[in-house]
Structure 1
């Protein structure tokens, strides 16, 4: 029987915000959704493109400060749409540079202020020290999350925005707290690269389940063999920072 359930995945700014293997998140999410029985369509959105009329999940990646500057004007153009979608429950995952711009503002180390679109109540300032290395953190919802951080931005969360996880090895959002990432509505922001999703299928399943329940009213997961994923996670967690 042909499965008529379909998920549209929109990838924000892959041309300018994709320097840490963020395409791996998109590919992994699409394959995971297919394993759960969905057909998928991936749409790239770059500055000046018409925003997709159908979007079930939004992914966005990291980039250098120059990349953030390039996409900033367009991001503010679609910002009201993204805010409305976030408030309506559309699941989103944004990494590093787009995580910062989904907040209120990012002040670069050179003193330039890049206004964000305010989905997260968060502020980021550029720091002199680069936070780089393997990172492990614990989430009440997703369990142990593993990845790789590489950022100099220091992010502070405000009222109404919760951290993604508590860091057990690594730095996270800043040098003062032991939190990493952000959560609001069904939107996740994080500094974790790696790519993130291949090593953390629980987050992929959350995005897929949330999208499916929003679109179709229910989600019945498939039984997926994650034994190779668990081996990869174990190796990642055993590597020195």
Structure 2
């Protein structure tokens, strides 16, 4: 079975080594015998994005994010076709913001987004920085999720999306509602860097499984030996939650 991954703007959006998420997806699929291809897609590259099973977009600084925002507008229909067709999209930080309706900076500048996610973001003077502990439910099972956030944008969710997780420690989307990230269909947005999937392999597997089920609903990934990863996740969870109190 094949898995085709598109890495969007790896030269512009790679804050805190977000490209590590692509590596984790690739390796965990290959360890299960899947034939994986990874294409780097940036300004000037115009493949049909619906041909990809997974698209990953990281975060970047304001200058790079401005360049990406302009380019995304040119490929708006292309990315929307992919989302509507069930391509799994993982967008981190700046990439997350740009999939929403708009981003209004703290100086009042309005940067239009693609409107794929029913969210909008407003710049704040205070940065929300630090480790995040969350609880995410997948197929009725709760998982502890660890990440790192560093953002000044406050993201607010509309009625057409659901939060990706509940915040146990950290700020999350806005620092107000105790939710982090968003899920809308097969599109996932989050502020968590790290890279996120290295710390939470269960989420990587969930994304791969969703992507493969576009072609075969019966797909179930075989289990890998994640004893080390699970032990590390558990220790981090306990340490960070206890540090909270």
Task: Provide the alpha-carbon RMSD of the alignment.
Answer: 1.5
Correspondence for 1:118: 115
Superposed counterparts of 1:133-212, under 5 Å: 133-141=130-138, 143-212=143-212
TM-score of the superposed pair, with normalisation by structure 2: 0.92
Q: How far apart, in 2, do the equivalents of 1:233 and 1:148 lie?
A: 13
Unaligned segments of structure 1, at least 5 residues: none
Contact in 1 for aligned 2:48/2:78 (Cα 8 Å): no
Q: Does 1:74 align with 2:60?
A: no
Q: How far apart, in 2, do the equivalents of 1:150 and 1:235 lie?
A: 22
Correspondence for 1:15: 11
How far the C-alpha of 1:227 sits from its partner, in A, is: 1.0
Correspondence for 1:35: 31
How far the C-alpha of 1:205 sits from its partner, in A, is: 1.1
Contact in 2 for aligned 1:10/1:52 (Cα 8 Å): no
Secondary structure of the 1:114 match is strand
Q: Can you list the C-alpha shifts for 1:113-154, whole angstroms capped at 9, x where unaligned?
A: 110001111010111111111100111216111101111100
Secondary structure of the 2:152 match is strand
Correspondence for 2:60: 63
Q: How far apart, in 1, do the equivalents of 2:153 and 2:29 lie?
A: 32
How far the C-alpha of 1:52 sits from its partner, in A, is: 4.7
Contact in 2 for aligned 1:106/1:124 (Cα 8 Å): yes
Aligned residues: 237
Unaligned segments of structure 2, at least 5 residues: none
Contact in 2 for aligned 1:171/1:178 (Cα 8 Å): yes
TM-score of the superposed pair, with normalisation by structure 1: 0.94
Q: How far apart, in 2, do the equivalents of 1:100 and 1:70 lie?
A: 14
Q: How far apart, in 2, do the equivalents of 1:85 and 1:113 lie?
A: 26
Q: Can you list the C-alpha shifts for 1:155-184, whole angstroms capped at 9, x where unaligned?
A: 000111111011000110012210110110
Q: Can you list the C-alpha shifts for 1:57-85, whole angstroms capped at 9, x where unaligned?
A: 10010011111101112111111121121
Contact in 2 for aligned 1:135/1:147 (Cα 8 Å): yes
Q: How far apart, in 2, do the equivalents of 1:185 and 1:76 lie?
A: 21
Q: Which stretch of structure 1 is more off in the superposition, 198-207 or 188-197?
A: 198-207
Q: How far apart, in 2, do the equivalents of 1:220 and 1:188 lie?
A: 20
Q: How far apart, in 2, do the equivalents of 1:143 and 1:231 lie?
A: 13
